[in-house]
Amino acid sequence: MADPITLEVFSDYVCPWCYLGDNRVKQLKENYDVTIKRVHFPLHPETPAEGRTLADMFGTGPEEIAQKNARMQGLMQAEGLPFNDRSHTYNSRLAQEVGKWADSLGAETQPGGEAIHDKFFEAYFVDRRNIGDVEVILDVVKAAGLDVEEARKVIEERTFKDAVDADWAKSHQYGVTGVPTFVAAGPDGQLHGLVGAQPYEGLEQLAQAVGAKKRG
């Protein structure tokens, strides 16, 4: 039996299009024999610990921010995803390191390892919390049912710093400049990719192009 196709998903927890795309990837995983590998991407690595207003980041006024939020609200609603208007972006680096730790636990032994990604998206896009704050990150860990003290150690000792550095380096190596980006290798080893919050049909076409088997 052939191994499942690996779909690499370049993503950042503070990217609304990644939140949207993540939902469609779950649907793809239900329908096709694919293994999802999250690759963390540095969307706004220069963001200070206290966060940065979207108005400052985009260089626009409150009306434009309200329009962006209204647009996202409509898209999220159509996808069945909860979403609250954003006013700030935050530094997701430590959250990425904790997400990498959670993935290392293995879904078989720790089901919360995969759930933590949803919890980070929810903490930011629904609860409007600063996911760069250590206590917020630990709340997310707890909500995912993972070991809070172990996660605190991961943060304090930066145990997964090198792993996230490697993800960021891979983003550079692949030439990824925007997220989400989806990459998979076909049977001949050739890479196929898609950029942006693709409709489900686009992801399905990518899966078919690289020879992923349909379930059922």
pLDDT 10s digits, 176-207: 999 999 999 988 888 999 999 889 999 999 99
Gap between the Cα atoms of 90 and 153, Å rounded: 22
Residue 114: pLDDT band with limits 50, 70, 90? confident
Q: What are phi and psi of 17, to 5 degrees?
A: -70, -30
Across the chain, mean pLDDT equals 93
Tell whether the model's pLDDT for residue 105 goes beyond 90. no
Report the pLDDT averaged over residues 13-28.
95
- pLDDT at site 3: 75
Question: Using CA atoms, how far apart are residues 70 and 174, in angstroms rounded to an integer?
Answer: 33
Q: State yes or no: pLDDT of 106 exceeds 80.
A: no
Residue 33 CA: distances (Å) to CA of 4, 19, 47, 108, 208: 5, 22, 37, 17, 11
22 exposed, middle or buried (CB, 10 Å; 0-12, 13-18, 19+)? buried
* pTM of this structure: 0.94
